[in-house]
C-alpha cells in the first residue's frame, strides 16, 4: 500500500523559481516513496528523537521527520517500503501509529492560501514599518521639501504594497457588492482607497497630512486577523482530513476466483466483494456466501452482534466479526445507505446556518453606520466650509479612525486562543461559530453505544464459574477473534487462569467455537447452538454460553465497558447545572442499567434516528439549547438537529462530518471543560467588541470635528488593536 506523494514543489508555482532543499533532494532521487504516519501520542522532545530514530532504523528508510504540530511523521524511503514495518517499529518503542491515506492528505500538504496570506501580511508589515519611519520624521517636524520628499517616498512604498497586500479585501468587497450586499470588507476597502487617494492629492499639493502609514497599518492589522482566522480553520481542517485519511478506502474484489485489492470507488454493482473478519462493509450488498456475525452498533446503536448468513442484506459501515463473507454489491458509492444518510445530514446542516455569529451581527450594525457617518461628515463640512479638499480629508479620517481594526481582530484572536487551548485538551473545533453556540448550551444529550460506552464488552460474572469451566472457556476463547472471546480471554488471563488443553479447535462462523477436551465435546457460543435453555437471562445482557458435554450449559455475561471519563463528564456537567439525557437505539434494559450507573435521570431507549432528532427538535422549540454527543449513523440526524454537536474520533465519518466538534482522544472529560472555555471565550469576544466601541466613541467625534491628524489615527489604531489582542490572550 505504498503511496507516492507528489513532491511539494508542484503545489507552489512560485517555488519553482527558487527550488527548496527538498526539491533538489527529490530530483536527485526521483523514485522515492513518501509515507505519512499519524502518531497521536508524540508530545515532547524525547518522543521526537525516539520516533525519528526508530523510523530511521527500519531498512530502506532514507529519512524521517516528525511534525509535532500535526502529530505526524513523514518518512522518505525506498519505493518498495510500505507502512507496515514502520508501524511495527513504532509500536516496538511504544508509540501507536496509523497509516494515512496520501490521497486524502495531499490537499493539506501545502497550505497555499495560508502562505499567500502570510506573504501579504509580511509585505504589509515591512512596508508599514518603513513608511512609519518616514511618518515619524514628518510628525516630529520635517517641513517643506523634506516633508514632500518623505510623503512621495511613502506613496511609492504604499501604493504597490496596497495593490499586493489588499487583494483579499478587494476581492471580498467586490464579490459582496456584486451580490448587492454589504460586508465588513466594503468599508475597509473604501477607507483604504479614500485614504490613499486623498493622501496622494494632499502630497501633490504639498499638504501637511498624509495617511499612507494609516492605510498600511490598517491593512497589516486586518491581515493579521485574517491569518489567525485562517490558521485556526486550517488546523481544524487538516486534523479532520487526517481522520478521513485514517480510513484507507479499499475493498477486496473477487474476479474469476482471484482476489484484487481495489479502491472502493472502483467497485461496481454486481461485483463480488470479500470482507474478512474485522473488516468494514465497503458497499451495500447481499451476502452471497459465508456465515458470520455482524456488528451494527455504528448504524443502529445495538450492542449485540447480529447473525448473518447467505441471502441477508448488509449495509455499508457494518463490521464483519467472525467469518469471511462474500457480498454481491447492490449499491455502491453515492447510492449506499451510508452516503444517503450523509446527504440527509447535509440538508439538515443547511438549516443550521440560521445562527448568526457575533461577528456577523456586529458587521451588520457597523458597515452601514460607518458609511452614513462618513458621508454625513463629508456633506456637513462641504456645506459648512465649501471646501472639497477639507471635506474629503475629514471623510477619509472618519473612515480610517472607525475602520474595524479592533473589530477585525476581536473574534479571530479569541477563537485562536480558545481553539488552541481546546486542541491541546484533545478537542477539535470544526465550525467557526461552534464556540459561541457551545457557550449557550443548557441541555446535554448523550448517545449510549460508542459514546458513553467504548463499544467493547466486559465480562461481568467471572467469579460465578468454577476453575474447570474457566479453563475450558479460556481455551475456546483463545481460538477466536470474536470481541466476546477476546474480552473473556483477557479477563480470564488477568485472573491467572491457564487454558485447558483442547484438540480439534475450530471456529464456526456465526455460532461460536468448538473443540474436544479429552473425549468430551465443548462449545462456546450462541445459546441456541450450545443447547442452552432460552429465557433464563434477560435480553439486556450480552451472553456467551459454555457447554461441556454431559453438563448443563453455563452463561458468561458481558456488559459494555464505559468509555474513559464518561462518569466524570456526566458528573461535571450535572454539577455545572446542565440537564443530562441519554438516548439510545439499544434495548431499554441496557439503557436503563447504564443510566443508573451514571446517575442520569432521563433516558430514552429503542429510539429510531428520526425519534432522536424529533426529541431534540421538541426540546429546541421549548427554548433549550441542546448539545448532542453521538457517534453512530443513527445519531447523525440528531447531531445536525442539535444546537451544537460533538462526536468522538472513533465515530463514523458521516457523524464526524455532521458534528461541530470532534473529540480526538478516547476520553470524554474535556466536554465539561469545553463548555467553560466556550463561555469565557464568548465573554472575551463581547469585551473586545466593547473595547472597540469605546475607542470609537472617543475617536470618532475627534475625527468628525476635524481634529484627527495621521498621528492620532496611528496611535488610536495601534492601541485598540493591541488591547484587543492582549485581552484575547488572557484566555490561554
Q: Within 68-87, which residues bind another protein (CB under 8 A)?
A: 68-70
Between 227 and 556, CB nearer to another protein: 227
25 near another protein (CB under 8 A): yes
CA 421 to chain centre: 14
Between 231 and 448, CB nearer to another protein: 231
Between 145 and 697, CB nearer to another protein: 145
Between 67 and 690, CB nearer to another protein: 67
11 near another protein (CB under 8 A): no
Between 228 and 672, CB nearer to another protein: 228
* Angle formed at CA 200 by CA 194 and CA 201, multiple of 5 degrees: 90
CA distance 120 to 161: 8
Helix (H, G, I), strand (E, B) or coil at 396: helix
* Angle formed at CA 579 by CA 576 and CA 584, multiple of 5 degrees: 130
The distance of closest approach from Cβ of residue 477 to another protein in the complex, given in angstroms and rounded to an integer, is 43
The distance of closest approach from Cβ of residue 504 to another protein in the complex, given in angstroms and rounded to an integer, is 55
The distance of closest approach from Cβ of residue 633 to another protein in the complex, given in angstroms and rounded to an integer, is 34
Quick one: cell of 257? 476466483
Give which of 396, 304, 337, 363 is closest to 633, Cα–Cα.
Answer: 337
Sole window of 10-18, 254-262, 460-468, 595-603 interacting with another protein (rule: CB under 8 A)? 10-18
Residue 505's Cβ-count burial label (10 Å; 0-12, 13-18, 19+) is middle
Sole window of 46-54, 304-312, 462-470, 593-601 interacting with another protein (rule: CB under 8 A)? 46-54
Residue 314 pairs in a beta bridge with 285
* Contact between 681 and 439 (Cβ < 8 Å): yes
The distance of closest approach from Cβ of residue 139 to another protein in the complex, given in angstroms and rounded to an integer, is 16
Sole window of 60-68, 372-380, 561-569, 682-690 interacting with another protein (rule: CB under 8 A)? 60-68
Beta strands in 135-244 (DSSP E): none
Between 130 and 679, CB nearer to another protein: 130
The distance of closest approach from Cβ of residue 662 to another protein in the complex, given in angstroms and rounded to an integer, is 19
Give which of 579, 328, 534, 274 is closest to 443, Cα–Cα.
Answer: 579
* Contact between 61 and 76 (Cβ < 8 Å): yes
Instruction: Give the residue, chosen from 4, 27, 67, 538, that forms a contact with another protein under the rule CB under 8 A.
Output: 67
Pairing of strands 258-263, 272-275: unpaired
21 near another protein (CB under 8 A): yes
44 near another protein (CB under 8 A): yes
Pairing of strands 292-295, 258-263: unpaired
Cell numbers 531498512 correspond to what residue? 59
Instruction: Give the residue, chosen from 5, 15, 240, 244, that forms a contact with another protein under the rule CB under 8 A.
Output: 15
Pairing of strands 443-447, 579-583: parallel
The distance of closest approach from Cβ of residue 125 to another protein in the complex, given in angstroms and rounded to an integer, is 9
Sole window of 66-74, 214-222, 312-320, 505-513 interacting with another protein (rule: CB under 8 A)? 66-74
CA distance 193 to 420: 35
234 near another protein (CB under 8 A): no
29 near another protein (CB under 8 A): no
Q: Within 337-396, which residues bind another protein (CB under 8 A)?
A: none
Quick one: cell of 406? 479592533
Size of the site for another protein (CB under 8 A): 35
* Contact between 2 and 81 (Cβ < 8 Å): yes
The distance of closest approach from Cβ of residue 422 to another protein in the complex, given in angstroms and rounded to an integer, is 15
Q: Give CA separation, 330 vs 253, 265, 436, 495, 727, in Å.
A: 14, 14, 43, 47, 57
149 near another protein (CB under 8 A): yes
Sole window of 17-25, 322-330, 410-418, 630-638 interacting with another protein (rule: CB under 8 A)? 17-25
Give which of 374, 387, 379 is closest to 205, Cα–Cα.
Answer: 387
What 3 state SS string does 487-512 have?
HHHHHHHHCCCCCCCCEEEEEECCCE
Between 62 and 328, CB nearer to another protein: 62
45 near another protein (CB under 8 A): yes
* Contact between 521 and 505 (Cβ < 8 Å): no
The distance of closest approach from Cβ of residue 49 to another protein in the complex, given in angstroms and rounded to an integer, is 6
18 near another protein (CB under 8 A): yes
The distance of closest approach from Cβ of residue 149 to another protein in the complex, given in angstroms and rounded to an integer, is 8
Between 22 and 208, CB nearer to another protein: 22
φ, ψ of residue 155 to 5 degrees: the values are -60, -40
Instruction: Give the residue, chosen from 2, 8, 289, 460, that forms a contact with another protein under the rule CB under 8 A.
Output: 8
CA distance 277 to 325: 8
**Residues 6+ positions from 477 with CB-CB distance below 8 Å:** 484, 485, 486, 488, 489, 492, 513, 524
The distance of closest approach from Cβ of residue 123 to another protein in the complex, given in angstroms and rounded to an integer, is 7
66 near another protein (CB under 8 A): yes
Q: What is the enclosing helix (H) or strand (E) of 171? A: helix 167-178
Between 115 and 597, CB nearer to another protein: 115
Longest dimension (CA), the chain: 115
Between 48 and 159, CB nearer to another protein: 48
Instruction: Give the residue, chosen from 136, 153, 344, 564, that forms a contact with another protein under the rule CB under 8 A.
Output: 153
Q: Within 182-201, which residues bind another protein (CB under 8 A)?
A: none
Between 234 and 562, CB nearer to another protein: 234
Concatenated DSSP letters of 428-467:
EE-STTHHHHHHT--EEEEEIIIIIEEEEEEE--GGGS-H
Between 20 and 313, CB nearer to another protein: 20
Between 111 and 560, CB nearer to another protein: 111
Sole window of 40-48, 575-583, 675-683, 703-711 interacting with another protein (rule: CB under 8 A)? 40-48
* Contact between 529 and 511 (Cβ < 8 Å): yes
The distance of closest approach from Cβ of residue 130 to another protein in the complex, given in angstroms and rounded to an integer, is 5
Q: Give CA separation, 134 vs 29, 567, 610, in Å.
A: 50, 63, 66
Sole window of 15-23, 324-332, 609-617, 665-673 interacting with another protein (rule: CB under 8 A)? 15-23
Q: Give CA separation, 273 vs 252, 312, 355, 508, in Å.
A: 6, 15, 44, 21
Residue 447 annotated in active site = yes
CA distance 255 to 198: 74
CA distance 218 to 183: 17
φ, ψ of residue 72 to 5 degrees: the values are -140, 150
Radius of gyration (C-alpha) of the chain in whole angstroms: 32
22 near another protein (CB under 8 A): yes
56 near another protein (CB under 8 A): no
268 near another protein (CB under 8 A): no
Helix (H, G, I), strand (E, B) or coil at 323: coil
The distance of closest approach from Cβ of residue 335 to another protein in the complex, given in angstroms and rounded to an integer, is 40
The distance of closest approach from Cβ of residue 455 to another protein in the complex, given in angstroms and rounded to an integer, is 31
Write down the catalytic residue from 447, 586, 635, 660: 447
Give the contact letters, 91-130, x = binds to another protein (CB under 8 A), - = no: ------------------------x--xx--xx--xx-xx
Residues that bind another protein (CB under 8 A): 8, 12, 14-15, 18, 20-22, 25, 44-46, 48-49, 63, 66-70, 115, 118-119, 122-123, 126-127, 129-130, 133-134, 146, 149, 153, 157
As annotated, the active-site residues are 447
Amino acid at each position: 500500500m505504498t503511496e507516492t506523494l507528489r513532491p511539494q514543489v508542484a503545489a507552489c508555482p512560485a517555488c519553482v523559481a527558487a527550488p527548496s532543499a527538498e526539491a533538489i533532494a527529490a530530483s536527485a532521487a526521483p523514485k522515492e516513496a513518501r509515507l505519512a504516519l499519524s502518531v497521536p501520542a508524540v508530545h515532547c522532545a524525547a518522543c521526537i528523537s525516539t520516533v525519528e530514530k526508530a523510523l530511521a532504523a527500519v531498512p530502506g528508510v532514507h529519512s524521517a521527520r516528525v511534525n509535532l504540530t500535526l502529530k505526524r511523521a513523514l518518512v522518505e524511503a525506498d519505493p518498495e517500503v510500505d507502512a507496515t514495518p514502520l508501524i511495527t517499529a513504532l509500536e516496538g518503542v511504544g508509540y501507536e501509529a496509523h497509516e494515512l491515506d496520501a490521497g486524502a492528505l495531499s490537499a493539506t500538504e501545502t497550505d497555499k492560501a495560508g502562505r499567500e496570506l502570510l506573504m501579504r501580511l509580511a509585505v504589509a508589515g515591512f512596508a508599514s514599518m518603513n513608511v512609519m519611519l518616514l511618518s515619524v520624521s514628518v510628525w516630529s517636524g520635517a517641513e517643506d521639501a523634506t516633508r514632500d520628499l518623505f510623503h512621495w517616498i511613502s506613496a511609492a512604498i504604499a501604493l504597490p504594497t496596497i495593490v499586493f497586500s489588499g487583494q483579499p479585501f478587494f476581492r471580498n468587497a467586490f464579490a459582496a457588492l456584486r451580490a448587492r450586499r454589504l460586508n465588513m470588507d466594503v468599508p475597509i476597502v473604501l477607507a483604504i482607497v479614500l485614504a490613499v487617494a486623498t493622501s496622494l492629492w494632499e502630497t501633490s499639493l504639498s499638504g501637511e497630512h498624509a495617511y499612507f502609514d494609516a492605510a498600511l497599518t490598517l491593512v497589516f492589522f486586518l491581515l493579521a486577523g485574517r491569518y489567525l482566522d485562517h490558521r485556526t480553520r486550517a488546523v481544524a481542517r487538516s486534523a479532520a482530513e487526517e481522520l478521513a485519511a485514517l480510513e484507507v478506502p479499499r475493498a477486496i474484489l473477487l474476479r474469476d476466483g482471484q482476489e484484487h485489492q481495489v479502491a472502493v470507488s472502483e467497485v461496481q454493482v454486481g461485483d463480488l466483494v470479500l470482507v474478512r473478519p474485522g473488516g468494514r462493509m465497503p458497499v451495500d450488498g447481499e451476502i452471497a456466501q459465508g456465515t458470520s456475525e455482524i456488528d451494527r452498533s455504528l448504524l443502529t446503536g445495538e450492542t449485540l452482534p447480529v447473525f448473518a448468513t447467505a441471502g441477508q442484506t448488509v449495509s455499508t459501515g457494518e463490521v464483519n466479526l467472525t467469518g469471511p463473507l462474500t457480498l454481491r454489491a447492490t449499491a455502491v458509492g453515492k447510492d449506499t445507505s451510508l452516503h444517503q444518510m450523509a446527504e440527509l445530514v447535509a440538508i439538515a446542516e443547511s438549516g443550521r446556518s440560521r445562527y448568526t455569529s457575533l461577528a456577523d451581527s456586529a458587521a451588520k450594525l457597523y458597515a452601514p453606520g460607518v458609511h452614513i457617518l462618513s458621508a454625513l461628515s463629508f456633506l456637513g463640512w462641504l456645506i459648512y466650509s465649501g471646501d472639497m479638499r477639507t471635506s474629503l480629508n475629514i471623510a477619509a479620517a472618519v473612515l480610517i479612525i472607525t475602520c474595524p481594526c479592533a473589530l477585525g481582530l476581536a473574534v479571530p484572536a479569541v477563537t485562536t486562543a480558545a481553539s488552541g487551548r481546546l486542541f491541546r485538551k484533545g478537542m477539535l473545533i470544526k465550525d467557526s461559530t461552534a464556540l459561541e453556540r457551545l457557550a449557550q448550551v443548557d441541555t446535554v444529550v448523550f448517545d449510549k453505544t460508542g459514546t458513553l460506552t467504548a463499544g467493547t464488552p466486559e465480562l461481568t460474572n467471572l467469579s460465578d464459574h468454577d476453575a474447570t469451566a474457566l479453563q475450558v472457556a479460556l481455551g475456546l476463547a483463545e481460538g477466536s477473534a470474536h470481541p466476546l472471546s477476546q474480552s473473556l480471554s483477557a479477563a480470564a488471563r488477568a485472573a491467572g487462569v491457564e487454558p485447558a488443553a483442547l484438540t480439534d479447535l475450530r471456529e464456526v462462523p456465526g455460532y461460536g467455537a468448538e473443540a474436544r477436551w479429552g473425549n468430551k465435546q465443548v462449545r462456546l457460543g450462541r445459546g441456541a447452538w450450545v443447547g442452552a435453555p432460552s429465557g433464563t437471562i434477560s435480553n439486556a445482557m450480552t451472553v456467551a454460553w459454555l457447554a461441556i458435554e454431559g453438563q448443563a450449559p453455563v452463561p458468561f455475561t458481558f456488559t459494555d465497558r464505559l468509555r474513559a471519563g464518561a462518569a466524570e463528564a456526566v458528573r461535571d456537567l450535572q454539577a455545572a447545572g446542565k440537564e443530562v439525557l441519554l438516548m439510545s437505539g439499544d434495548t431499554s434494559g441496557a439503557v436503563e442499567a447504564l443510566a443508573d450507573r451514571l446517575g442520569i435521570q432521563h433516558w430514552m431507549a429503542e429510539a429510531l434516528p428520526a425519534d432522536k432528532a424529533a426529541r431534540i427538535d421538541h426540546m429546541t422549540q421549548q427554548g433549550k439549547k441542546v448539545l448532542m454527543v453521538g457517534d453512530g449513523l443513527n445519531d447523525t440526524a440528531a447531531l445536525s438537529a442539535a444546537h451544537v454537536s460533538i462526536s468522538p474520533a472513533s465515530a463514523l465519518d458521516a457523524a464526524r462530518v455532521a458534528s461541530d466538534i470532534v473529540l480526538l482522544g478516547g476520553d470524554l472529560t474535556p466536554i465539561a471543560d469545553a463548555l467553560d472555555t466556550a463561555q469565557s471565550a464568548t465573554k472575551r469576544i463581547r469585551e473586545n467588541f466593547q473595547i472597540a466601541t469605546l475607542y470609537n466613541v472617543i475617536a470618532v467625534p475627534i475625527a468628525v470635528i476635524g481634529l484627527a491628524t495621521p498621528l492620532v489615527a496611528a496611535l488610536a489604531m495601534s492601541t485598540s488593536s493591541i488591547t484587543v489582542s492582549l485581552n484575547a490572550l488572557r484566555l490561554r
